[in-house]
Amino acid sequence: MADTGWPGCAKSLKGVVLDMCGVLYDSGEGDGVAIPGSIEAVEKLKASDLQLRFCTNETQATREKFVAKLQRLGFDISVSEVFSPAPAAVAVLKEKGLRPHLLVYDGVLPEFDSVDKTDPNCVVIGDAAENFSYQNVNEAFRVLIGLEKPLLFSLGQGRYYKETDGLKLDVGVYMKALEYACDLEAEVIGKPSSMFFQSVLNDMGLHPHEALMIGDDLVNDVGGAQRCGMKGVQVRTGKYRPTDERHPTVTADGTVDNLAQSVDVILNQRGH
Amino acid sequence: MADTGWPGCAKSLKGVVLDMCGVLYDSGEGDGVAIPGSIEAVEKLKASDLQLRFCTNETQATREKFVAKLQRLGFDISVSEVFSPAPAAVAVLKEKGLRPHLLVYDGVLPEFDSVDKTDPNCVVIGDAAENFSYQNVNEAFRVLIGLEKPLLFSLGQGRYYKETDGLKLDVGVYMKALEYACDLEAEVIGKPSSMFFQSVLNDMGLHPHEALMIGDDLVNDVGGAQRCGMKGVQVRTGKYRPTDERHPTVTADGTVDNLAQSVDVILNQRGH
């Protein structure tokens, strides 16, 4: 435990977790574009002795469709390596015997095929985009306020994201709306929830201090991973902003130009 | 100043301010229905030496249309006696030279006819109901986030209200959504804002301690008036709930069955 800081900590790592959008690729028209060097960086990690997982808050498509897009971009990646909020929510719902009212994007609905949705006793919201109509939000509200113990799950808590036609409100905004309407606190499934990072660690069979998260979102990727006991490194791609490097509450263990650079530093430290 | 409590304080009152929905009438199909005794109670107040004003957070219609509805129900009331958030907002906008992007109910738009809305430098939201589509909320968000100093005005901060077909989300829910999206705090125009109550007091030419607010909403009517230095009495009609009488932060100066009873108590105290 001599080297606990970045990059010295890389020597004792056993696993790496990668955020996807903004780290592997930039979204945009069609499939978007791979960030230069990222395809090769993933290949290098896979050839190393480190375990590798991918962790995204993407909730507009099923994992299958999302992974197929990444494969088309050239990434060596499979569904079993990817952690996203919808399957995590399904696990929570089944474990607790909950029947959700869903307010999500149409593309992610198949993830919930195996869940009983009759006579709902909780509400699950995702990045529903245009499905966040007044009528649909009001319907979710009526379900919640009609429950003896209102229970709201939010697949992430993002404020907004960027698409080719401009900024778009993300799920966190509607989470706050329903929290206020019903005077409750939602349970977030996805980053930055510790439970979500822990499920990735469990899958790798690692302790938090043995794993490193690499992401472009300082609060949700880096801060979330750190709160869980993992190391967190930020890349200067995707939604990175220079002000992140003097953030009032979250300080990354390291900041690197991009995924390619971070992987080279890690493998160098490990003597590759 | 011997009798500062309720109902003793009625002796030294110079003005009374009445909430409308839930105090004068219950909304519902068509115009709704007058609450028994309220029409006569307003008549008694008008025949007394007390000044009288009406104060509502209604923002789905112009004051003219709203007052016409009350007149049809049998109330002796005129537009100049009614204070509502939209005209108050227009006054603020003009005073500060602000050009709003409006996200409001179509019926209230004429209130803003005299306001310059080109090249907006602030956003005003009201109880827009079905107009709170994802596209419209996102558009308001984009205006805000594009401003050097984002400025959001909210006409009230209600969570929800009841219509004949069930509960409906109110403007406060979308205020919280935009606050979170843009990391800002909205300025509330309407109850419970002290500025709003003060404008009613200014119109009567009274000091706060000379006026009493009567409403069914403990937090927005009673609490708002009290924070402004007025007395506040709650009626057990409209949205009153028994739990209001043991609310953790707001305690009404008095609680009465309805407007008719409160007016009889006030006038009795004054020796009528």
- Model confidence pTM above 0.95: no
Residue B72 in this model has a pLDDT that exceeds 70: yes
Segment among A31-45, A156-170, B43-57, B246-260 with least mean pLDDT: A156-170
What class has domain A85-188? alpha beta
- Strand pairing class (B211-215; B231-235): parallel
* pLDDT at A1 exceeding the cut of 70: no
pLDDT averaged over chain A? 95
Q: Where in chain B is the domain with CATH 3.40.50.1000?
A: 10-84+191-270, 85-188
Is the CB of B184 inside 8 Å of chain A's CB atoms?
no
Average pLDDT over residues A160-164: 81
From chain A, the residues in CB contact with B141 under 8 A are 160, 167, 169, 173
Instruction: Give how far A160 is from chain B: nearest CA, Å.
Output: 7
**pLDDT at res. A163:** 77
Min Cα distance A129 → chain B (Å) is 7
* Residues of chain B contacting residue A174, judged by C-beta atoms under 8 Å apart: 177
Spatial contact of B126 and B155, defined as CB atoms under 8 Å apart: yes
Supply A65's token pair: 């469709």
Reply yes or no: is the peptide bond before residue A85 cis, omega within 30 of 0: no
A147 to chain B, any CB pair closer than 8 A? The answer is: no
Q: What does CATH list as the number for B10-84+191-270?
A: 3.40.50.1000
Instruction: Tell me what pLDDT residue B253 has.
Output: 97
Interface contact A142-B166, CB threshold 8 A: yes
Q: How confident is the model at residue A162 (pLDDT cuts 50, 70, 90)?
A: confident
d(CA A32, CA A25): 7
Q: Which residue has the tokens 């993830």?
A: A111
- When computed from its CA atoms, the radius of gyration of chain A, rounded to whole angstroms, is 19
- Choose, out of A60, A103, A137, the residue to mutate when testing the contact with B (most B CBs < 10 Å): A137
B179 close to A (CB below 8 A): yes
User: What proportion of chain B, given as a percentage, has pLDDT over 70?
Assistant: 99
| Segment A85-88 long-range contacts (CB within 8 Å, at least 24 positions apart) | A85/A57, A85/A59, A85/A126, A85/A155, A85/A156, A85/A189, A85/A190, A85/A196, A86/A59, A86/A62, A86/A111, A86/A112, A86/A126, A86/A155, A87/A63, A87/A111, A88/A189, A88/A190, A88/A195, A88/A196, A88/A199
The per-type count for chain A, helices as H runs and strands as E runs, is 8, 14
Contact criterion met (CB below 8 Å) for B128 and B181: no
Average pLDDT of the residues in A6-19: 96
Determine the pLDDT at residue B10: 95
B chain contacts of residue A141, beta-carbon cutoff 8 Å: 160, 167, 169, 173
Q: Nearest-CA residue of chain A relative to B142?
A: A167
Q: Residues of A with CB below 8 A from B138's CB? A: 167-169
Instruction: Give the tens place of pLDDT for each residue, A113-136.
Output: 999 999 999 999 999 999 999 999
Mean pLDDT of chain B: 95
CA nearest to A245, candidates A232, A255, A260: A255
Cβ pairs A/B, distance under 8 A = 75
The ipTM, to two decimals, is 0.89
